[in-house]
Amino acid sequence: MIEKPSLASTEIIRETLSRPSIFKNEEPLSLEYLPSRLPHRENQLRFLAELFRSVIEKPGTTSPRVLITGDIGTGKTVLAQRFGTDITRTAKTLKLNLLYRHINCREYRGSLFMILKRVLQTFTPTFPQRGFSSEELLQILLDQLDDKNLHIILTLDEADTLIKTEGTTSLYNLTRIQEERPGRPVRLSLIIILRDLRLIEDLDRSTQSTLQRNIIRLERYTPPQLETILKERVELAFKEGTVPEEVVNFVADMASPAGDARFAIELLWRAGKYADTEGAKELKPDHLRAAANSVYPVMRTEYSQHLSHHEKLLLLGLARVLERTNMPYATMGDVEIAYKIACEEFKEPGRAHTQVWKYVQNLSATGIVSTQLSTIGFRGKTTLLGLSTAPASAIRRWLEASLAKA
């Protein structure tokens, strides 16, 4: 039986909804928002258009393969999505059969099988869940593209996860599949988004050569560039006169060490929420300080939204061990014990060691957890787990709140 909310809770909600807001439209500050133009990325957008020019002018003759790389918040994802939207619209006006698909590899655990299955479900929603290898799925995809006389531009975002999970095989198959179809139209083009360019060194020479041919490097945004981006978002998201120019400059300064536009935009949104909670009529520096104090990278939506329930429990166990010991690393054994205690606390049956190790690999692939082999000072060889993106205490508090809501 669902309990009725208490009168106090109802009053809080009503009071919140009746209070004026400094926002007029929060969408331009969301992760999903795709701006109509990209300040300071126009040249890269033009270069992408030039690289894919033949796909429009001479369909079926070439398959561009492009690598986009840069730090977090430098605009890799939004650049690819803006290009995908624009080239799809152009193809439609020219009556060309072109499909753009943007896949986040982290969301699909770095599995080419799961990625290709998702793409195939675009054409066949009831496509079988299992029974094929990723190589077979790739062939089936190309056969379907032939049947529909369709060219697909497949963007693999956060491909770091794909490389760390499957090594060189997946990208090799994707970049070389056309060689197995001599004389047939080219149907698949690739955009690979990679944060750590050093991972290319782990690939075979053939795949390295293919991907290094067309690289777009995005540098960190400078403070003036961040100001330009933020001013546009402020104009779209906030009511006039509620965000002073000096506050915009302050946000840019706070985000400038990493040149991270996404972080700057998130700070702006969160600070607006603090201002609304206080009933303030404009955004002030103290709202930004409160917002910055509450945000660590690992707790940002793009990091946390793809974590499974048990990965959160394992992460909670690790955070608790590190907070208790005040050490940079914890042994796999200690973390596994803490994970099982967390499972009991949240009334979840604990998983076996093999599955727990898979959770560790997934968390390592996303960059949330760092791993290394033990050295002097530990009995025998064991895996050490650490957290490099936020204090253990902050992660522990965030996870306890997150799991309590689940």
The pair phi, psi for residue 368, each rounded to 5°, is: -75, -40
Q: What's the pTM?
A: 0.78
Structural domains in the chain, sorted by start: 42-218 (3.40.50.300), 221-295 (1.10.8.60), 302-405 (1.10.10.10)
Does residue 248 contact residue 228 with C-beta atoms inside 8 Å?
no
Does residue 68 contact residue 80 with C-beta atoms inside 8 Å?
yes
- What pLDDT score does 245 carry? 93
- What pLDDT score does 84 carry? 98
Q: pLDDT tens per residue, the chain (406 residues)?
A: 355 555 567 777 777 777 899 999 999 999 899 999 999 999 999 999 999 999 999 999 999 999 999 988 999 999 999 999 999 999 999 999 999 999 999 889 889 999 999 999 988 888 877 778 999 999 999 999 999 999 999 999 999 999 988 988 899 999 988 888 888 999 999 999 998 888 888 788 888 888 888 999 999 999 999 999 999 999 999 999 999 999 999 999 888 878 899 989 999 999 999 999 999 999 999 998 888 877 765 565 556 667 889 999 999 999 999 989 888 788 999 999 999 999 999 999 999 999 999 999 888 877 678 787 766 555 557 788 988 666 788 788 888 888 887 6
Query: Whole-angstrom Cα distance, residue 201 to residue 197?
Result: 8
The position carrying tokens 């930004």 is: 288
Query: Taking Cα atoms as reference points, which of 292, 296, 262, 251 lies closest to residue 274?
Result: 292
Residue 279, amino acid: G
Give a three-class secondary structure readout of the chain. Answer: CCCCCCHHHHHHHHHHHHCCCCECCCHHHCCCCCCCCCCCCHHHHHHHHHHCHHHHHCCCCCCCEEEEEECCCCCHHHHHHHHHHHHHHHHHHCCCCEEEEEEECCCCCCCHHHHHHHHHCCCCCCCCCCCCCHHHHHHHHHHHHHHCCCEEEEEEECHHHHHHHHCCHHHHHHHHHHHHCCCCCCCEEEEEEECCHHHHHHCCHHHHHHHCCCEEEECCCCHHHHHHHHHHHHHHHECCCCCCHHHHHHHHHHHCCCCCHHHHHHHHHHHHHHHHHHCCCCCCHHHHHHHHHHCCHHHCHHHHCCCCHHHHHHHHHHHHHHHHHCCCEEEHHHHHHHHHHHHHHCCCCCCCHHHHHHHHHHHHHHCCEEEEECCCCCCCCCEEEEECCCCHHHHHHHHHHHHHHC
Please state, in angstroms and as integers, the Cα–Cα distance from residue 24 to each residue in 12, 27, 295, following that order.
21, 9, 23
Residue 75, amino acid: G
Contacts 24+ apart (CB under 8 A), 85-93: 85/34, 86/45, 86/49, 87/49, 87/52, 87/55, 87/56, 87/153, 90/56, 91/56
- What pLDDT score does 374 carry? 67
- What pLDDT score does 4 carry? 52
- What pLDDT score does 300 carry? 59
390: left (phi over 0), alpha (psi -120 to 50) or beta: beta
How remote is the C-alpha of 360 from its chain's centroid?
18
Return the number of other C-beta atoms located less than 10 Å from residue 230's C-beta: 25
Handedness of CA 9, 15, 18, 24 (dihedral sign): negative
CA dihedral 34, 39, 41, 46 (to 10 degrees): 90
